[in-house]
Structure 1
Amino acid sequence: MFLQKIKPFLYLGVFYLIISLIVRIIFFFHPITTTSFGFFEIIKILLIGIVNDSFVFVLTCPFLALYFLFLSDSKYQKPYGHIILGVLMLLFLYILLIPNNIFKQYGGSIAEIALAFIGLKIIFFGLMLFLPEKRIKIRNTLYFITVFLYVLLIVFNAVSEYFFYNEFGLRYNFIAVDYLIYTNEVIGNIMESYPVVPLFLGIFAVAILITLFIYRKTKNELQELPNLKQKLILLGSFVALVGISLLGLNFTTKIKPADVFEEEIQANGLPKFYWAFTHNELDYFQFYPEINEKQAERNFLSQFSEPKLQRSITSDQPELKKNVVLISIESLSADFLQHYGNKQNLTPFLDSLADQSLMFTNLYATGNRTVRGLEALTLCIPPTAGESIIKRENNKNKFTTGSVFKSKGYDVKFLYGGYSYFDNMQDFFAGNGYGIVDRNNFKPEEITFANVWGVSDEDMAKKAIQTMNAEAKSGKPFFNHWMTVSNHRPFTYPEGRVDIPGNAKSREGGVKYTDYSLRKFFEMAKKQDWYKNTVFIIIADHCASSAGDTELPMDKYRIPAMIFSEGFIKPQKFTKTMSQIDVMPTLFGLLNFNYQSKFLGQDIFKKEFQPKAYVATYEDLGFIKDNYLTIISPVRKVKQYVLTQQKNMQAPDFNIYFDETNVPAPNQNKKLVEETISAYQSTSYWLKKNQLNR
């Protein structure tokens, strides 16, 4: 009898395990998975995966369990049925009419969801109360809907995990949380990037077929409803299984293989999503290796000529109040440029501009999201665990590149073709003294093309020129930071600009169109009076992809960057390893600025400069120096890799790939481990104590 009553759970559970197994097998053979696994490794991954999936399924069943627990005919008897219906109606009126009810205090759509749920509950409860002869039919309908929703969510989650892995080579993480929060942009992006209608029709068709199968196999269990004793047994069993699953997941999620793909394939996406949702910021001092704080600060600050956090930067040359335009290009990997060995001619303008610029040929992004790139270029500090500072609550009044320019009398603005509320950019830049020009500032006639991410780079280029012309008329120098948007999925842009159609939704097309737009921008800029007194910095925010064999694959962080100014910047190539956080301190050095600095990046032309770079994900914090990559991770883990340079003879000055060879713990370079810990520990401490504020 007990097994009969839990048949719906068993069928749904088996279906969930089968779907999860199929997804896992697809991940094994996905082109993005570059690791090869042996037979026993595959068996181990699948076994751990099945255990993870079983625990997760149990934890997703409370609503189904509650549904069965509340199945009863006695509640419709007088006077209970009328009392319950009255209570439900009062609750509905409370949510509908009371302005500050408890549901509305949570914000968002909680009140509307509660209102819809209670409204449906009233309708179905009333039908079953007043039409007892139809009760079994109504109950069966509700049961079918309940099973259908579970099956639909299982299928939808599997498809979502596939597309997320297809994009990032990972299960759900902070990016998936962003996708849940910024629904307008994300849903728009999905609608424009994928064949949504056939995809959703397929999902619904599969869900209906599976639901019909489970429904027919289990509907007879509703003919005889469980009594109180059976319900107590079911409840006790479920509570015990939940407890076991929580303990089990706490153990299995801590199994961290050496290979990133192995870790991701054996994992279940839902616990990773929950963890990301609840951990916007990781406490460095709780999760990462530490040394004495004073020693960490001394180690880190020893790279500067004045070894303290706030330093006086002075020049023996007169300051140059040139206009500065910083252009952050969305998702522009170094290997899109011909200079780095690309043969597709995707960036003819940027390649030609690089020959006239100070080009940094061995520069690494700090992360793999736009907000990380903006953080690196604005705050000039190493990345810290968790979300970018841009997305944290305590993100205002920081010491920024904008604050340095403002202290010199500059007009400071952030330019963005989309709505800058996305990724909290508006809150961050406005909170740090930047004026903002975004899609809200466009008149309808100024937009020739737009997609979900914003107006085309071409339209933004025209708006940027318009903005800079207005600033130049004020007599003040200006600093404008422009973040491009077109080189982002769905990669749509106006027709006829490049030789790849705008509706092809091609990444290569997105790169070509952004290059085309930048050419148009410079063609317009050259006609302006302010052009010859302006310095342009062109740099990617991050690479197009972050997936690789190791936690921090080096080739997925290497980005192009250059500083260009006719008659001022001498064309040359700087080939030493450097970080995104070094770019703006270097620019201030070129302008001979005198200022009080809290930047943690270095001017690369100072004699004390140490070639190095910081690279990170949300959890793994890496430090590149002396041909080593040292990584510190939660649970105080330390890994180290030897980096072997291999030059591509098609582009010998640029295209350097790195083989990453794991160094066993006893053989690790302890000095570099300490330097890594010192850098990230000190940065986290100074942020925590607000010492990086203005």
Structure 2
Amino acid sequence: MLKINQLLFPKRFQLLKTFGLTFLVFSFIVRVCLYFFSLNYIDFSIINLIKIFGIGLFYDIGSLLYFLALYAIYLLLIPTKLYGSKFDKIITKFSYGLFLFITIFSFLAEIPFWQEYQRRFNFIAVDYLLYTYEVIENIHQSFPLPLLIGLIIFILILSIRFAKKRNAYKQVFNNSDSFKTKLIPTSIILLVLALFHFNIKNTQAENFKNINENELAKSGLYSFFAAYKSNELNFKDFYNTIPSTENYAIIRDLIKANNDSLITNKKDIKRFVTNTGEEQKPNVIFIGLESLNARFMERFGNDKNWTPAIDSIAKESILFTNLYATGTRTIRGMEAISLAIPPTPGRSIVKRENNDNLFTIGEIFKEKGYTRTFIYGGDGHFDNMTKYFSYNGFDIVDRKKPHRLKEKLPTKRVRIEDNEVSFENAWAACDGDVFKKLLEVADKQYKSKQPFFNFMMTSSNHHPYSFPKGVITSDEKTRENAVKYADKSFEEFFEKAKNKPWFKNTVFVVISDHCAYSAGRTEINVKNHHIPAFIFNLKNKTPQEIDKLSSQIDVFPTLFGYLNWSYNTNVFGTDISKMTTKDERAFIGNHRKVGLLKPNKLLILETQKHHSTYQWNKKENKLTPIQTDSVFLKETISYYQSAYELFKNGGLKIDPKK
């Protein structure tokens, strides 16, 4: 045994061995912590516990190999005469410290990430890495930064002292191991790494029915890089497909309503929608509510009085009580609402290449003579929002950073200035300030005598849940208080808006972008896609509730129906008010898995060309596996395959010259 140890870890490799032990111990501790955080969400059993930690150890070793390989190559190549030299000591100590810092930081970061998303690092973490200012500010505002830095330094010092107590540094610098001696462990590390890298996928850790147990079995670092590689998925490579001709025959039949006329015989969804009656052209203000679950509202069972203002306005509106968000992020909500399209797997279209000059709902407003403006309290550079909306015809009002003032856009851009902001956090100015800006923008637009469409996103109901002091009874940073502040800002906006000359001729569309607390026992938690959506201040429309199963993508086509608009369209959404029972459906997804929800069943398309079908008990939010109906499968494939193909081949584009 001693000889094998010396063969695998000669003296020159003792620091490498020590780092490996340290890494695996940290990995184990983090997994234990996350396991305890998830006790209320997992299906506990001793067998599953052993499997989670066994699979987890396997993936931790795989992640560790990437670090070991880098240092092993250095150890192999440096000649014996340089052992212990100044150069060798600098490289070794710096590399060891750097690797330890990355390891400690990533493991500590996993804990708040898990608490927020109930997931290992995924595509959200990849996206956030691109926006260092917002992320660092969020960390600073969420946690005591000196304490966090101190904790990292403390663990770093302990880890280095552990290495010194094992005499790892001395053995690395004071030995005469030959190239041949070093070649054996280096070759083994590189060989095992190659086998792991080319044959093991992150999804192979998913051996449980419970999503939380699947995530616990993964390695955070490995999941991060797996998410980076899969940020955009080729639908045809990863999902079930059907022949192109059959696909477009199905989708054209699915989306064509009785009042629609398909324009071409081509492989597209272009059609003309006819509505009877006199066209109305009120101003339209869309308010996107950040992370507002339906169950935060009294109407949907909340008895804690979180949203009295939102509930009050909803009672006076056309309220859609059975409507679902397509995804779990703001840019998914923006994609669904603005493009009226099912969520294509991978990253949102808002962040993809070639997403300019698309047929958005803004084109329908443009056809009717409206101005179009996107209003956001943060820097719209985040998640590519500014470019997406600007290159699709919207003027921009946002809190752009000073170093981006010279950034050129094809439409107008107005900055929310410092003197207009009473409070802001890492993400944006508080909702109250943004609503004030919205009122100011609407006042100016009203004077122009041209109808306007404003697309505004709130943000205060987002971690770190910070807001101005004294607005609500408690200043504590909690989800409940963030929701209450968002509701209070909503109330103050409407109190002021009702006194404006443009109010009587303005319709307000209010939709949540997605739900908070998207974690659950299943891969897609249907309940955590249920969101509030309503249309307020429609002329000649009595407040009512519509309980038809529907999607974010349907709200604006429904508004256009209420306004008696006839128009050309290239969107997937349909008019909810005209839906029959057989038309009811919603689209939900979570980056890799996308599903079609019907009133009593759900079909999920998965990578590796797999799919699953479930009976859905809405009352208990319970999914029970059932046999797949081939018609239902083709319908689901057609929606998502068409959405993917039309975006990729330019079928959703418009002619910018027209």
TM-score of the pair, normalised by structure 1: 0.86
Question: Does the Cα contact within 8 Å between 2:80 and 2:177 map onto a contact in 1?
Answer: no
Partner of 1:527: 499
Cα distance change of structure 1 residues 256 and 399 upon mapping to structure 2, 3 Å threshold? farther
Deviation at 1:246, TM superposition (A): 2.2
Cα distance change of structure 1 residues 230 and 244 upon mapping to structure 2, 3 Å threshold? same
Partner of 1:69: 76
Question: Does the Cα contact within 8 Å between 2:142 and 2:463 map onto a contact in 1?
Answer: yes
Supply the AA of the counterpart residue of 1:688.
K
CA-to-partner distance for each residue in 1:348-370, whole Å, 9 max, x for gaps? 10111111011011110000000
Cα distance change of structure 1 residues 215 and 383 upon mapping to structure 2, 3 Å threshold? same
The question of 1:224 aligning with 2:175 is answered: yes
CA-to-partner distance for each residue in 1:104-150, whole Å, 9 max, x for gaps? xxxxxxxxxxxxxxxxxxxxxxxxxxxxxxx6577556534432322
The question of 1:169 aligning with 2:142 is answered: no
Instruction: Identify the range of structure 1 (391-400 vs 292-301) with the bigger mean alpha-carbon deviation.
Output: 292-301
Partner of 2:524: 552
Partner of 1:257: 208
Deviation at 1:7, TM superposition (A): 2.2
Question: Does the Cα contact within 8 Å between 2:41 and 2:521 map onto a contact in 1?
Answer: yes
The equivalent position to 1:406 in structure 2, one of 345, 366, 371, is 366
Deviation at 1:225, TM superposition (A): 4.1
Partner of 1:117: none
Q: Distance in 1 between matches of 2:127 and 2:579?
A: 42
1:354 aligned counterpart, secondary structure: helix
The question of 1:204 aligning with 2:210 is answered: no
Deviation at 1:376, TM superposition (A): 0.7
Supply the AA of the counterpart residue of 1:51.
F
Supply the AA of the counterpart residue of 2:10.
Q
Cα distance change of structure 1 residues 623 and 566 upon mapping to structure 2, 3 Å threshold? closer
Q: Distance in 1 between matches of 2:329 and 2:431?
A: 19
The question of 1:675 aligning with 2:635 is answered: yes
The question of 1:267 aligning with 2:218 is answered: yes
2:343 aligned counterpart, secondary structure: coil
Cα distance change of structure 1 residues 63 and 333 upon mapping to structure 2, 3 Å threshold? same
Q: Distance in 1 between matches of 2:586 and 2:64?
A: 42
Question: Does the Cα contact within 8 Å between 1:173 and 1:276 map onto a contact in 2?
Answer: yes
The question of 1:60 aligning with 2:67 is answered: yes
Partner of 2:410: none
Supply the AA of the counterpart residue of 1:639.
S
1:305-316 aligned at under 5 Å gives the runs: 305=257, 306=260, 308=262, 309-316=269-276
2:121 aligned counterpart, secondary structure: coil
Deviation at 1:461, TM superposition (A): 0.9
Q: Distance in 1 between matches of 2:242 and 2:152?
A: 52
Supply the AA of the counterpart residue of 2:419.
E
CA-to-partner distance for each residue in 1:192-229, whole Å, 9 max, x for gaps? 01223212212221221121111331122111243333
Supply the AA of the counterpart residue of 1:69.
L
Partner of 1:152: 101
Cα distance change of structure 1 residues 635 and 425 upon mapping to structure 2, 3 Å threshold? same
Partner of 1:27: 34
The equivalent position to 1:422 in structure 2, one of 378, 382, 391, is 382
1:315 aligned counterpart, secondary structure: coil
Q: Distance in 2 between matches of 1:324 and 1:251?
A: 45
Deviation at 1:299, TM superposition (A): 2.0
Partner of 1:473: 447
Cα distance change of structure 1 residues 367 and 53 upon mapping to structure 2, 3 Å threshold? same
Q: Distance in 2 between matches of 1:402 and 1:508?
A: 34
Supply the AA of the counterpart residue of 2:235.
Y
Question: Does the Cα contact within 8 Å between 1:32 and 1:169 map onto a contact in 2?
Answer: no
Cα distance change of structure 1 residues 576 and 32 upon mapping to structure 2, 3 Å threshold? farther
Partner of 1:285: 236
Q: Distance in 1 between matches of 2:417 and 2:44?
A: 55
Partner of 1:487: 461
Instruction: Specify the structure having the higher radius of gyration (Cα).
Output: 1
The equivalent position to 1:659 in structure 2, one of 612, 619, 622, is 622
Q: Distance in 2 between matches of 1:193 and 1:32?
A: 24
How many corresponding residue pairs?
Answer: 621
1:559 aligned counterpart, secondary structure: coil
Question: Does the Cα contact within 8 Å between 2:425 and 2:466 map onto a contact in 1?
Answer: yes
Partner of 2:585: 612
Partner of 1:380: 340
Partner of 1:458: 432
Deviation at 1:343, TM superposition (A): 1.3
Deviation at 1:60, TM superposition (A): 2.1
5+ long unaligned stretches in structure 2: 1-5, 263-268, 401-414
Partner of 1:244: 195
The question of 1:325 aligning with 2:292 is answered: no
Superposition RMSD in Å:
2.0
The question of 1:299 aligning with 2:250 is answered: yes
Q: Distance in 2 between matches of 1:313 and 1:215?
A: 75
Cα distance change of structure 1 residues 604 and 626 upon mapping to structure 2, 3 Å threshold? same
Q: Distance in 2 between matches of 1:234 and 1:566?
A: 73
1:327-406 aligned at under 5 Å gives the runs: 327-406=287-366
Deviation at 1:171, TM superposition (A): 0.9
Question: Does the Cα contact within 8 Å between 2:10 and 2:177 map onto a contact in 1?
Answer: no
Cα distance change of structure 1 residues 224 and 607 upon mapping to structure 2, 3 Å threshold? closer
Supply the AA of the counterpart residue of 1:265.
L
1:524-673 aligned at under 5 Å gives the runs: 524-565=496-537, 567-607=539-579, 610-646=583-619, 657-663=620-626, 667-673=627-633
Cα distance change of structure 1 residues 472 and 251 upon mapping to structure 2, 3 Å threshold? closer
Supply the AA of the counterpart residue of 2:543.
P
Question: Does the Cα contact within 8 Å between 1:418 and 1:438 map onto a contact in 2?
Answer: yes
Cα distance change of structure 1 residues 251 and 567 upon mapping to structure 2, 3 Å threshold? closer
Deviation at 1:474, TM superposition (A): 0.7
Supply the AA of the counterpart residue of 1:338.
E
2:533 aligned counterpart, secondary structure: strand
2:639 aligned counterpart, secondary structure: helix
CA-to-partner distance for each residue in 1:621-677, whole Å, 9 max, x for gaps? 01111310110110011111111132xxxxxxxxxx5221122xxx22332222111
Instruction: Identify the range of structure 1 (306-315 vs 405-414) with the bigger mean alpha-carbon deviation.
Output: 306-315
CA-to-partner distance for each residue in 1:349-395, whole Å, 9 max, x for gaps? 01111110110111100000000000111000111000010000111
CA-to-partner distance for each residue in 1:440-465, whole Å, 9 max, x for gaps? 41232211111111111111111111
Question: Does the Cα contact within 8 Å between 1:532 and 1:566 map onto a contact in 2?
Answer: no
Question: Does the Cα contact within 8 Å between 2:617 and 2:623 map onto a contact in 1?
Answer: yes
Amino-acid identity (%)? 37
Supply the AA of the counterpart residue of 1:50.
L
Instruction: Identify the range of structure 1 (680-689 vs 7-16) with the bigger mean alpha-carbon deviation.
Output: 7-16
1:563 aligned counterpart, secondary structure: strand
Question: Does the Cα contact within 8 Å between 1:371 and 1:390 map onto a contact in 2?
Answer: yes
Question: Does the Cα contact within 8 Å between 1:33 and 1:261 map onto a contact in 2?
Answer: no
Supply the AA of the counterpart residue of 1:341.
G
Q: Distance in 2 between matches of 1:178 and 1:53?
A: 23
CA-to-partner distance for each residue in 1:34-79, whole Å, 9 max, x for gaps? 1222111211222111111112211222332244235446469xxx
Instruction: Identify the range of structure 1 (520-529 vs 13-22) with the bigger mean alpha-carbon deviation.
Output: 13-22
